[in-house]
Amino acid sequence: MPTITTNDLKTGMTLHLEGDLMNVVDFQHVKPGKGHAFVRTTLKNARSGATVDRTFRAGEKVERAMIDKRDMQYLYRDGSDYVFMDNESYEQSTVTPETLGDATNYLIDGMTAQLHFFGDEVIGTELATSVELLVAETEPGEKGDRVSGARKPATLETGLVVQVPLFVNPNEKIKVDTRNGEYLTRA
C-alpha cells in the first residue's frame, strides 16, 4: 500500500490504520502559535461505521488503502445475502445485508450499484441519489381529507415504508431519495 503524509489528506480518502479501514470525513491543519503543527481528523470506520476523532503530527506517514469501485448489477437474494454481477467481467459476488446497510431498502432486480472493494472484500456501496419503486400497499386517500401537505404511510416493493401524499395509490411508481428515504415525486 502506498504511504502518504498527513499533509496530503483529503476528504473521502481511505486510510489503513492499525488493521482498520478508515475514511477521512473531515480534516484540519492546525499551526498553533507555539509548538509544532498538527492535523486534526474525523475518521469513519469503513466496516463498522464508527466515527472517531484523531490527531496526527504534521508530516506523519500513514498508509493509504486502495479502494476499487466497481459498477455491479443486483441479480437476486440468496437466503439473507445479496448477489451482484460485475458489469465488465460478469463475475458474481455475494454481499451480506450488514455490508450494504440502508441500501437494502432500495435494491430491486436489475438495478446497478457501485460496490467498494478492498482486495476481495466488499466494504461499502453507493447508489444513485434517487430510485423508482412501486407502491405495494397504501390506504386510499379519503375524499374531503385535503389538509395541505397531508401524508400517509406507503409500503414499497422492497418492504420500505415511506410517507407519501394522499393522492398516491397502490401499483404506482414513485421516486424515493436514497440518502434520507423520503418521497420525491411520482415517476
* Domain at 136, CATH number: 2.40.50.140
Let me know whether 46 and 83 are in one domain: no
- From 64, 79, 111, the end of a domain falls on 64
Let me know whether 72 and 107 are in one domain: yes
d(CA 64, CA 53): 18
Let me know whether 79 and 58 are in one domain: no
At 155-183, the pLDDT tens digits run 999 888 999 988 888 899 999 998 888 89
Let me know whether 144 and 122 are in one domain: no
- Global confidence as pTM: 0.74
Let me know whether 95 and 45 are in one domain: no
- From 126, 144, 169, the end of a domain falls on 126
d(CA 52, CA 174): 37
At 137-161, the pLDDT tens digits run 988 866 655 666 788 899 999 888 9
Let me know whether 60 and 89 are in one domain: no
pLDDT of 84 strictly over 90? yes
Q: Report the domain count for the chain.
A: 3
Q: Which domain holds residue 151?
A: 130-186
Mean model confidence pLDDT for the chain: 88
